[in-house]
Structure 1
Amino acid sequence: MAESYSLRSRQVDQMAGDGHEANGSPFRPTRARGSASTRRNSPYLPTPLESLALLIYPVLLVFGSLFSVLSPETRASPYDVTGHSHVQTGNAVPSYFARKDNLLNIIFVKRGWAWITVAFVAFAASHSTFRSSGTRLARAASRWALITGWWILVTQWCFGPAIIDRGFRFTGGKCEDAHEAVFEGTADKSDVFTAAACKASGGRWSGGHDISGHVFLLVLGSYFLVQEVGWVLLRSGAGVAGRGEERAVVMGDGAVKGAGVEAEGDGGAGDGSALGVGSKFTLTIVGLCWWMLLMTAIYFHTWFEKLTGLLVAFLGVYAVYILPRWIPALRGLIGMPGM
């Protein structure tokens, strides 16, 4: 009797292993408890947490644009299309932050990239993740160089006039009412190729589409710091990452894996130290960028100028922080934050 029961048990086990139940019906093996895997993020798109951080920027711009329309003080203040701002004198100025000479605009925004750079250096110099790996520090510096290069091309110089100035002239803009002495009596007024040169000559830069340089700077600089600081803190344990936040990367053989596989031989991402002075200073700079972005959204530029400033900034962000995830050779050169 015992032998018969043992034989029947072995038959049941064998049929189950072959994918059938004892009664002959299909048998679907159950997945072991805790082995269910979450859906991997796309290497071509930001992770959910990154998307949430990116969403801050259009939300600030939309809120600011709506506020400027709904606020009685702002609507009552004349807007100068050429100057991209409300009236700057008298009681008609809608707010202290609507003045171009407000302290934060002069000290912070006008020297914005210097503050962004100082914040990045302060963070890199103070956090253990960079002291533990010279390679990690070099790759972070290369990402700063690429982001800085994009800022230079868009706002300062692009093999001649910057992209903003080229776009302005391409859309029909020119320098009006410039002093003839600047042109030595020979050049036409429209030959002043940059906004800075036009202003210096006493002219008015008008007639074309002016990408908002303030929006571009504040978005590009602050999100650069968010990426560099955020991933380091999340991976070192100073922050709490939600489930499924692992970045996906395309390997050399085309396989898509979690980015953590490339960090295994690199000593981790630091010792999990808490926020230090450098980290706090960097996050303060990010906060100031967000505040001044909101002020820009309320008091300066048209909605389309702000939109193009946002999109041009996002273009640089994608090239430096998303593109390397699906181009292994580029990732090998500039790495990824926190890795």
Structure 2
Amino acid sequence: MRRWLPWGLLGLMLGGSLLKALALLPDSYMSSKRNLLNIYFVKLAWAWTFWLLLPFIAITNYCLSRNVLEMLRRISTLLVGTMVWYVCTSLFLHIEDFTGSCYKSPALDVLFQEHLSKWQCRQGGGFWHGFDISGHSFLLTYCALMIVEEMAVLHVLNTERSPRLHAVVNALFVALSFLTLIWVWMFFCTALYFHDFSQKLFGTLVGLSAWYGTYRFWYLKSFSPGLPPQNASLSSKKPNCSR
């Protein structure tokens, strides 16, 4: 899944955008921004990802390393992710503000030249139109790929001798898997119903770049949070977390 998911997301974005351009699909419940998945999950996407990955990374990495400092080092990936989320979303807002203009109606025919920012425009009852990079395309891409990368640790983890720990890790795995399905589905719905193609493409590429720059480049370095353990080099069998 880790190998094909980046290409799969890019394919979903291109396919969904093509269907939107051809207007082949009628409006539906998912085309409304008020749908429950958008309100209660997507708008809180980083919070859901953060608070489910936090115990998962802490438990699995401590179980394998028995080292608190190593566990904290790996948890710092969530701080990196928080910085990526904050910087990118702030940059998107600045780009929309810098490239936009204020209009008196959604028809974008008459300018409100006295309003020079999106905030001033909306306060004045106008309609701001700029290059609105899809924050959903960016964040859902990054969150889905980050979760899949972190769950790779299960290939070298054995919790069967500790029933309580086994139950906790399995519950977190199920929750993270379900969350990933929601992120991928809502990513596809974004491609189908919202934003222009260039806005979705840019957002998706930023998400892919953030994932690649961390998990495929920086985390390979010694001065980084590092990758989750993905091989059983410490022993001939999967380490058993029974204590």
1-side partners of 2:204 and 2:157: how far apart? 30
Q: Does 1:154 align with 2:48?
A: no
Aligned match for 2:206, one of 312, 333, 337: 312
Q: Size of the alignment, in residue pairs?
A: 215
Find the counterpart in structure 1 of residue 93 from structure 2: 165
Contact kept in structure 2, 1:120 and 1:225, CA below 8 Å:
yes
**Deviation of residue 297 (structure 1)?**
0.6
2-side partners of 1:67 and 1:316: how far apart? 27
TM-score by length of 2: 0.77
Q: Does 1:205 align with 2:138?
A: no
Long gaps (5+) in structure 1: 1-48, 75-93, 156-161, 179-186, 239-271
Query: Structure 1 residues 110, 307: CA separation in 2 closer, same or farther (over 3 Å shift)?
Result: same
Long gaps (5+) in structure 2: 106-112, 160-164, 231-243
2-side partners of 1:114 and 1:325: how far apart? 22
Aligned match for 1:225, one of 147, 160, 173: 147
TM-score by length of 1: 0.57
Query: The residue matched to 1:209 in structure 2 has which SS?
Result: coil
2-side partners of 1:196 and 1:139: how far apart? 39
Aligned match for 2:115, one of 171, 189, 206: 189
Find the counterpart in structure 2 of residue 334 from structure 1: 225
1-side partners of 2:205 and 2:157: how far apart? 31
One-letter code aligned to 2:136: H
After the TM superposition, which residues 1-16 of structure 1 pair with which residues of structure 2 at under 5 Å, given as runs? none
After the TM superposition, which residues 53-64 of structure 1 pair with which residues of structure 2 at under 5 Å, given as runs? 53-64=5-16
Query: Structure 1 residues 196, 111: CA separation in 2 closer, same or farther (over 3 Å shift)?
Result: farther
% identical aligned pairs = 29
**Deviation of residue 325 (structure 1)?**
5.5
One-letter code aligned to 2:70: R
One-letter code aligned to 1:232: V
**Deviation of residue 73 (structure 1)?**
4.1
Query: Structure 1 residues 197, 236: CA separation in 2 closer, same or farther (over 3 Å shift)?
Result: farther
Which deviates further from its counterpart, 51-60 or 277-286?
51-60
After the TM superposition, which residues 129-140 of structure 1 pair with which residues of structure 2 at under 5 Å, given as runs? 129-131=61-63, 132-140=66-74
Query: The residue matched to 1:335 in structure 2 has which SS?
Result: coil
Contact kept in structure 2, 1:177 and 1:189, CA below 8 Å:
no
**1:215-265 Cα deviation digits (max 9, x unpaired):** 111111111111111x21223379xxxxxxxxxxxxxxxxxxxxxxxxxxx
One-letter code aligned to 1:189: H
Query: The residue matched to 2:132 in structure 1 has which SS?
Result: coil
